Every structure is written in structure tokens, then in C-alpha cells.
Amino acid sequence: MNLKLTGKLLGAAAALSLLGSAAAADNWRAWNIHHDGHPNTAAMDRFSELVAEKTGGEITVEVFHGGVLGSQPDALEQVRIGAIEIGNFNLGPIGPMVKEANLVSLPFIFKSGPHMFRVLEGEAGGIIADAMGEAGVLPLAWVDAGARSFYAQKAINTPADVEGLKIRVMNNDLYTAMISAMGGNPSPMAFSEVQQALKTGVVDGAENNFPSFKNVGHYEVTTNYSLSEHLIIPECICVNTAKFNALSPELQAQLTEAAEEAALFQRELWTVQSEQARKDVEAAGIVVNEIADKGPFQAAMALVYDEYLTANPDMKALVELAQSTE
């Protein structure tokens, strides 16, 4: 072969590969279920800015809000296989694919929001994060989602008030067991369908935190929000594990820092905006019922724990680890 030509070809190849790496910004997509006005929407926008800043544009993240890339279970699958790179996921729908993550979906497992973060930042959180990473959905940071309470056209002060009611839950057998344990009829359904289902009476009630209750208008089609606070479920900024592992250590550190900073920002916003959301829905006429004694709800959940631990005896240690965390 003509050496000169080979040299030229090599030169061209080198130029192309240089060009390639200069233009090799990874353009990633992120899934977010929430709309404007929800703390997570602002936090995910901040995350996107931080990633661009910290990686010098080597990674860009375009966030798609309002669940336009699909329902949460679909988006989770997409992130697992790498068709979407990032998601702000609730750990509830992750439970069916990662049994360790189901710890957080046991009703009343956490004493409070701060207790939840202490568990996540300790050994139990490490076990959950590793298992999620192995499943393809690696958490880079944990974010707050407050506590979930029931809402319906009547007050729910005791488990008996749930009897006979059709209650929407997220996709997870623990939630269907939770409603059944109180004599209600669980109705798993995508978040995007809940407002209409409440409005038309397809379901009698649902459960969520104040920001979500307000942000997608559930408060417009119901009357009573009862502070059962039966679930305190964390959320994550999660990334497809393989794509994360393929990054240089430097980019991995920058992405993680961006997620951690965005998560801290989210937690601050959460505190302020969930109080505000409560005030707003009350001003709009929602009756917020305090439940002085949550004991009967907790007692009713013994069945859920039994079922979970019978099906997953290997999760007993993790449950005890969470329960014994101060």
C-alpha cells in the first residue's frame, strides 16, 4: 500500500476521532413524572444545569417533565435497559423489581422523614442502593417525598373507614395488601389516570403527599385529606448502571456531585413547598383531618409484614436493621 496514502488516511482517521471526541457530548434524557410547580421539577432542572456545568458540557441531560416519556413502571424499565438514562423515581414502583427496595414500602417502617434518611444513609441504604444498581437503576442521590396519607370524599380516621372503599394505589403488591388488610378494594393505576378516576368515581380515594395531591389537581375532585402518614417513601435520582459504569471516574464523580447537590436543593424546596401545598389545598376547601392515634392503622399492617416476610424470609435482617436504626 502507498505509504503516503496510508499516512493520509491515518491522519484523516485521527482528525475524525478527535472531532468525534470533541463532539462526543453524551446527550442524556431524564424522566420526571411531575409538572411545573412541583419541587422535583425544579430540582431536576437544577440537576441538568449542574451536570452541564460540572462536566463542562461532556454530558448534557434533557429533562422531560410531566411523565411524557411514559408511566413510571415503563420509564423504570426504560432506564434499566438504557433507553432513557436518568429518572427521578419513587422507590414504590421499584419494589416489585428489587426486593430490597421494597423495605421502604412497608407501611410505618419509618418513624419520620429524618428517620428515613438516617436509614438510607446507613447500612440498610447501602444494601438497597447496591441491589438497585445491580438491577440497572443506580441511585446517585435520595430525595424527599414526605409522607403519604389517604384522601376521599369522607374522613378516614380509622382502618374501618377504608372498608368497602376502592382506593387507588401505585403498582406494588405491598400496597394492594395494605388496602386489603383494612377491608378496602385496592386499585393499582398509573398516576396520570388518578384525577379522572377520582372525578368519575372509578375510585373512591387515593393516597399521596401534599405536593402531588395539589400539583395534579386531586384536591379539586375530593374533599377530605386524612393524615394517616402510613407510607414515607423516598425517591431517587437514578441512572442506568451500565452507562454510569462506562464513564470515566472523573465524570462519575461529577455526575454524582450534581445529583447530590440537586437532591439537597430538592429537600429544601420540599420542606417549604409541602407546607405551602397544604395551606393551598386547605384554602381551596379541603378538610385536613389530624389522626390522634395511628395505632389501629399500624396494627392492621401486621398482616402486610407477615405476608412480605413469609414471601421474603431473607429480608428479615434488613427490616430489623431499619427498625433498630435510631
**Nearest residue (CB) to ligand GTR, 28 versus 191:** 191
Shortest Å distance, C-beta 191 to ligand GTR: 3
Number of residues that bind ligand GTR (CB under 6 A): 11
User: Of residues 106, 170, 179, 182, which one binds ligand GTR by CB under 6 A?
Assistant: 170
Cell of 245: 459504569
Beta strands in the chain, from DSSP E residues, in sequence order: 26-31, 59-64, 86-90, 137-143, 148-152, 166-169, 185-188, 205-208, 224-231, 235-240, 287-289
Of the CA atoms within 13 Å of residue 142, those in its CB half-sphere come to: 23
- Contact criterion met (CB below 8 Å) for 168 and 113: no
In Å, how far are 40, 133, 303 from 261, measured between CA atoms? 13, 20, 39
**Nearest residue (CB) to ligand GTR, 31 versus 54:** 31
Residue 255 found at the interface with ligand GTR (CB under 6 A): no
**Nearest residue (CB) to ligand GTR, 188 versus 296:** 188
User: Of residues 28, 31, 33, 297, which one binds ligand GTR by CB under 6 A?
Assistant: 33
Of 120, 102, 104, give the one whose Cα is nearest residue 233: 104
Residue 228 found at the interface with ligand GTR (CB under 6 A): no
CA distance 290 to 280: 17
**Nearest residue (CB) to ligand GTR, 58 versus 144:** 144
Shortest Å distance, C-beta 175 to ligand GTR: 10
**Nearest residue (CB) to ligand GTR, 122 versus 217:** 217
Using CB under 6 A, which residues numbered 108 to 167 contact ligand GTR?
Answer: 145
Using CB under 6 A, which residues numbered 173 to 212 contact ligand GTR?
Answer: 191, 208-209, 212
Query: x/- contact string, 67-106, with ligand GTR (CB under 6 A)?
Result: -----x-----------------x-x--------------
26 DSSP β-pair partners: 59
In Å, how far are 33, 220, 221, 224, 225 from 285, measured between CA atoms? 26, 9, 11, 9, 11
Please return the burial class of 252, using the count of CB atoms within 10 Å of its CB with bins 0-12, 13-18 and 19+. middle
- Binding residues (CB under 6 A) for ligand GTR: these are 33, 72, 90, 92, 145, 170, 191, 208-209, 212, 235
